[in-house]
Amino acid sequence: MSPLLSGAIVFTLGCYAVASVLVLVRLVRGPRAQDRVFALDLLYFHAMLVMLVLGIRHQSDVYFEAALLIALFSFVSSSAMAKFILRGEVIE
Amino acid sequence: MSLFALLLLPFAGSLLTAVLPTRARTALAACAGLVAAVAAARVVSLYPQIRDGGVIRETVSWVPSLGLDLTLRVDGFAWMFALLVTVIGALVCLYARYYMSPDDPVARFYAFFLAFMGAMLGVVFSGNLVQLVVFWELTSVVSFLLIGYWHHHVDARRGARMALTVTGAGGLALLGGVLVLGHIVGSYDLDVVLGSGALIRSHALYPVALVLVVVGALTKSAQFPFHFWLPRAMAAPTPVSAYLHSATMVKAGVFLLARLWPVLSGTEWWFWLLCGAGASTLLLGAFIAMFQNDLKRVLAFSTISHLGLITLLFGLNSPLAAVAGVFHIMNHATFKASLFMAAGIVDHETGTRDIRRLNGLMRSMPRTGTLALVASGAMAGVPLLNGFLSKEMFFAEAVFLTAHPTVEVGLPLLATLAGVFAVVYSLRFGYEIFFGEPSTDLPRHPEEPPGWMLKPVELLVVACLVVGVAPSISIGPLLAAAARPVVGGDLPEYHLAVWHGFGAPLVMSLLAIVGGVVGYLWLRSHQRSGRLNETPFFERFNGRRLFESGLVTATRLARRALRLVSSRRLQAQMFTIIGVAILLALLAARGVPLVWGDRERLPASHEFVLLWVIGMVCAVGAAVMAKFHRLVATTLMGGAGLVTALTFLWFSAPDLALTQLVVEVVTTILFLLGLRWLPMRLHDPSRRTTMRDRVRRGRDLLLAVGAGAGLAALSYALLTRPAPQSISPFFLDRALPEGGGTNVVNVMLVDFRAFDTIGEITVLGAVALTVYALLRRFRPPAESIGRPQQQRVLPSDVVTDLVKPRATGERAGGYMMVPATIARLLLPFSFVVAAHFLLRGHNEPGGGFVAGLVVAIAYLTQYVFSGTRWAEGRAHLLPPRWIAVGLLLAATTGLGAVAVGYPFLTSHTAHFTLPLVGEVHLPSAMFFDLGVFAVVVGATLLILTALAHQSIRAHRPPAPNKRTEAS
């Protein structure tokens, strides 16, 4: 692996770490439920990106599977929560 | 056919009738009748083997180390009983074909009926006392189902419950008695017990065993003071009554008395217990029977009375009386079965069983009338009928008994008096309804029943006549064979004949008949003028009321005890559970101290620490928010779950990580569905936090921290120790060569431990069905029945361009159109992902479980965005069928291995090359995994949609609180 690539990976992961901590602040403090749901969605998004980066670092496609699942379904839980906030029930 | 096959035959028939179409009356009756007839034929063919005192034994050893064998033993007495059980069973099957209405679910009837026959055969064939008790209990349980057959009638339910409670309690006493007997003798084998009569009678525990066994027999045979359940059991269909109360259920009690007669009889205890109960039942039952106006209740009390007579005969401690008892068992079974059937025919054809309304039926139903008349003659003890013979034997015993002077005088008097009563109620049954002016106000116009319905009655009545006229050639050998084992092998001298010469017994018989006719005329004239329509005096002693107040008291005591030792509050329960767990762990730590191992530690990386900081913050936040902000708590739990999934991935457990990710999604939707029905919980500012609250919270905090830290320490200790005995190398080494797959986790699930997996998916399916069944009766709390607040009011600050922003209706085309479209596009995509995981699961991360959840989520997404009605209008998912197909597939795959001669669930891997696709790796475990997949899809969908359906269901509000009603 070239030094450029490994350096880039470290830098990217650091950025995601900072972003995740910021998101965590929103997730814990709120203040509205909408903020927290959105924060959770972002946290999932970060997790997916971290996995892809880790996949590049370890040259393994196992990470890709998990990233695929998050990409497909993380929006389901956060939008179910959004539906719950909007309508008071998740399935009508 | 061996004895075991004979015993299993009715049970097999029961299973068969249970699966036949429930309204196919003729097919069901033919099937059940055939089973009973084959069993009867087999029993008849055993006769030569037992005729001269022979005993047939069959044993299958079950737990030989505990002395538990399944033993079947048939001697003459058991043979006679088996004959009654099967022959009358076959006749009742024929009769029931015409009796049951086309609207009754008769499959259930015949299934229970045959099961009862099997249980009864088990009782009479048992060669082991414990085994006998097991079948005895089985008769109680099945009779409960039979009596409660018309479970929409409250009488049937109550009668069934009462019968079960009384006979079940008696069965418990019998079990105790049998255990004491086994303790005395040292064996439960019937032959051994029968051979040690002297030992038992001289043992100090003899009274205990005797009382317990006798209580069991008396409850089953409805003897005073346990007689009250039998009249209530008349709520059963008449064929059931005809079977249970003539040949089987109630006869099981006297069967037991006769069975143990050689062992237990011959003592003062035996004499007073049985003669006391028998004599009082004989008189009481006959007395009450005279005043009944319901045909079946007359027969019920007469049954009680006749069983009292049999009990009395066995209690007299004389071999001759015991022979008379055996004889009366046979006679009573024949005439009582025919009488019950006749009563059923009258009820069926006229629509009523009230003796006061029925008159002059002889004109419209001459054949039924003649048969009923003859049978009631047998019941009354009229000469030339079988009832006369055994009654005459009883009278003779009563006269020639040598005992205490009061007994010597009292017993003949009592016997004659009971004979008078019997004649009176027989006349009321036989004479009153068939003679006189024909009644005109009957619910139905009476006419003769179908010929086949009368056939069983005819056969039984002919038997009564033949035995009555020519006893020594018809029944003589049978009686000798049946009575010999009861009296211990040596038959006393007796003569079966109609004419014994002029003596005291004949005088008593004549007195009873004359007195009965006079008494009947006297009673009729009184009843015509409106008196004596109810049982005098005894009406006040209501066994039912006593029984029910007993039940209420028992329930109240149980409730009080429950309140003493348990709590409904979650907090208290959790406190106890966790407290006990910590205590146990601390106790264990005294023996095995908690020390860290010396396994090599991995250095902590910054990224991982950060990950866990995020996870811990989320988890603690969820705990804090759980009380008042449940949605927030759910959100934070999502964060914690994500961190868990990432941790799995970090430590190279991709299977777990994939599963955890999809489980997270399903869990979130499940929580949200549940939140809809939880009442809002708001912080009440007016409530002050007291000192006590603070102390309690501090205590709980300490407990929580203690438990958490303890678990963490345990995990750490475990993780740091080397594991020389680990089972992992076994699986790692053998997964590929023996399981044919490189994904060890999956190979374990579908191959090495497939048996566990099949158990787990069965449980999963059962849980899903249970959740579904429970939610069908779900009643939400009053405050969450209405629509959620968001759907009722539109906040004033909402700016929207929707026409009807809060209107309910189809969401797929409304404001949810964008997400709904995306969700629909997601569906095929998810299928591809699921197929991918499923197909390569054997070699790489994935498998049926993850794939199933992926498909379930894809469908659930449609529910979320497009609404239940839309989704179900377009896809017929039928989750229970998914579960069924999955379980079948998994089981069939396993059985496939058996079919080719390998152990259950052995897998085989095929490798072949297909054009275009290339090399294909196809393990048979693949089909097993497909079964897992289907079960997971079905179970997930069933549970979540069952919850979702609550929203579109019309809810009945809960019953209003009494206090608010009053105010």
Report the pLDDT averaged over residues B379-398.
Answer: 88
Strand bridging mode B56-63 / B68-74:
antiparallel
pLDDT for B810 equals 46
Residue B866 confidence class, pLDDT cut points 50, 70, 90 = confident
C-alpha pair distances (Å), B820 with each of A30, B855, B862, B949: 28, 17, 7, 19
Q: Sort B732 into a burial class: Cβ within 10 Å, 0-12 / 13-18 / 19+.
A: exposed
Q: Is the predicted pLDDT of residue B918 greater than 80, yes or no? A: no
Q: How many CB atoms lie within 10 A of CB B776?
A: 10
Report the pLDDT averaged over residues B636-654.
Answer: 90
Per residue in B921-948, pLDDT (tens digit) is 777 888 888 999 999 999 999 999 998 8
Residue B375 confidence class, pLDDT cut points 50, 70, 90 = very high
For residue A91, what is the nearest residue in chain B, using CA coordinates?
B864
Under 8 Å between Cβ of B165 and B208: no
DSSP string, B87-128: HHHHHHHHHHHHHS-TTS-HHHHHHHHHHHHHHHHHHHHBSB
Per residue in B553-568, pLDDT (tens digit) is 999 999 999 988 888 8
DSSP string, B643-708: HHHHHHHHTT-HHHHHHHHHHHHHHHHHHHHHHTTSPP----TTSPPPHHHHHHHHHHHHHHHHHH
Site from A73, A78, A79, A81 to mutate, B interface, most B CB atoms within 10 angstroms: A73
B646 at A interface, C-beta within 8 A: yes
Q: Name the minimum distance, in Å, from the CA of B632 to any CA of chain A.
A: 6
Report the pLDDT averaged over residues B627-645.
Answer: 91
Which residues contact residue B901 at a Cβ distance below 8 angstroms, ignoring those fewer than 6 apart? none
pLDDT for B936 equals 95
Residue B960 confidence class, pLDDT cut points 50, 70, 90 = low
Q: Name the minimum distance, in Å, from the CA of B619 to any CA of chain A.
A: 10
Q: Which of B638, B826, B867 lies nearest to residue A77, judging by beta carbons?
A: B638
B870 at A interface, C-beta within 8 A: no
Residue B337 confidence class, pLDDT cut points 50, 70, 90 = very high
Per residue in A12-49, pLDDT (tens digit) is 988 998 999 999 999 988 788 889 999 999 999 999 99
Work out how many CB contacts closer than 8 A connect A with B. 146
pLDDT for B795 equals 62
Under 8 Å between Cβ of B224 and B277: yes
Under 8 Å between Cβ of A53 and A1: no
pLDDT for B964 equals 46
Q: Name the minimum distance, in Å, from the CA of A2 to any CA of chain B.
A: 21
The rounded distance, in Å, linking the Cα atoms of B314 and B215 is 15
Report the pLDDT averaged over residues B355-361.
Answer: 85
Per residue in B776-813, pLDDT (tens digit) is 888 888 777 777 777 776 666 666 665 555 554 445 55
pLDDT for B967 equals 41
Report the pLDDT averaged over residues B830-856.
Answer: 89
Q: Which of B646, B865, B951 lies nearest to residue A47, judging by beta carbons?
A: B646
- Dmax (CA) for chain B in angstroms is 115
Alpha helices in B721-782 (DSSP H): 728-734, 744-747, 754-775
The rounded distance, in Å, linking the Cα atoms of B499 and B525 is 35
Under 8 Å between Cβ of B278 and B223: yes
β-partners of residue B783 are none
Token digits for B352? 């009523």
B676 at A interface, C-beta within 8 A: yes
The rounded distance, in Å, linking the Cα atoms of B217 and B250 is 9
pLDDT for B177 equals 95
Per residue in B868-905, pLDDT (tens digit) is 888 888 888 899 999 999 999 999 888 888 887 777 77
Q: With an 8 Å Cβ cutoff, are A92 and B662 in contact?
A: no
One-letter amino acid for residue B87 of the chain: V
Domain extents for chain A?
Answer: 3-81
Among B270-279, B619-628, B779-788, whose mean pLDDT is lowest? B779-788
CA atoms within 13 A on the CB side of B916: 0
Most confidently modeled range among B58-72, B297-311, B502-516: B297-311
Q: Which of A20, A72, A77 lies nearest to residue B668, judging by beta carbons?
A: A77
Q: Is the predicted pLDDT of residue B430 greater than 90, yes or no? A: no
Q: Is B921 helix (H, G, I), strand (E, B) or coil?
A: strand
Q: Is B187 helix (H, G, I), strand (E, B) or coil?
A: coil
Report the pLDDT averaged over residues B364-392.
Answer: 89
β-partners of residue B57 are B73
Q: Is the predicted pLDDT of residue B307 greater than 90, yes or no? A: yes
Q: What percent of chain B has pLDDT over 70?
A: 95
Q: Name the minimum distance, in Å, from the CA of A8 to any CA of chain B.
A: 15
Q: With an 8 Å Cβ cutoff, are B833 and A68 in contact?
A: yes
Residue B832 confidence class, pLDDT cut points 50, 70, 90 = very high
The rounded distance, in Å, linking the Cα atoms of B747 and B731 is 9
Residue B417 confidence class, pLDDT cut points 50, 70, 90 = very high
Q: Is B319 helix (H, G, I), strand (E, B) or coil?
A: helix
ipTM: 0.95
Under 8 Å between Cβ of B3 and B58: yes
Q: Is B911 helix (H, G, I), strand (E, B) or coil?
A: strand
The rounded distance, in Å, linking the Cα atoms of B22 and B937 is 32
Report the pLDDT averaged over residues B674-684.
Answer: 81
Under 8 Å between Cβ of B117 and B39: yes
Select from B164, B135, B131, B134 the least CA-distant residue to B147: B164
Token digits for B628? 């008042």
B941 at A interface, C-beta within 8 A: no
B829 at A interface, C-beta within 8 A: yes
